Structure 1
């Protein structure tokens, strides 16, 4: 994201996740606000991922998508293995942090994987 306000908001969301975990009231509002910046910057992937993310949190009061594994298994390249010791907060923090640098191809790829996982859930 290029917008300085969006970057500050991402930092705020990450800080709040560290302090209070998934506090649905403020978190959903912050994600919706971040989505408006993505709309302004015309980044459809981020817009969709953020919408799916806050809808998921509204429905489940948590973030139940596991953090992405660094390397897919040999059996199924699309399969994302859940790391046992990673909390919903860590997975959500990773997703939000990806949005900070959209010039990184790996971040875009991971956002697409999160989008697909959220749509399947």
Structure 2
């Protein structure tokens, strides 16, 4: 994200998670704020990823999507295997790191994979 306020919110979430403070309500609120900044930057992949992430957190009370594989998952069955039974903090940390620097091509590609996983999880 280019917006410095969005970057500060991303850093705040990352710092809290590193300190074992996974405050769901605070995270969702901050993701919604970051999404407002992404709307201004007109990046639909990021905007969608943020919306799907906070909706996922609100409905499941945890981040249950695993880190995307290096090779894209083709089938719905493969995507379904990339789900965790417990809060996947490592995956959430990775998701947040992707948002910080969108100039890296692979970050957007991985955000697209997260988007697919969020949608597959809800179906």
Tell me the TM-score range normalised by the shorter chain.
0.7 to 0.9
Unmatched tracts of structure 2, length 5 or more: none
The one-character-per-residue Cα deviations of 1:53-87 (angstroms, maximum 9, x if unpaired) are 00000011000001123346xxx656466599xx6
CA–CA distance in structure 1, aligned partners of residues 83 and 61 of structure 2: 20
* TM-score under structure 1 length normalisation: 0.85
CA RMSD of aligned residues (A): 2.2
Q: After the TM superposition, which segments of 4 or more aligned residues of structure 1 sit over 3 Å from their partners?
A: 76-84
* TM-score under structure 2 length normalisation: 0.84
In the alignment, what sits opposite 2:94? 94
Alignment of 1:1-121 (within 5 A): 1-71=1-71, 77=74, 79=78, 82=82, 88-121=88-121
How many pairs does the alignment contain?
117
Unmatched tracts of structure 1, length 5 or more: none
Instruction: Quickly say closer, same or farther: Cα 1:47–1:61, change in 2 above 3 A.
Output: same
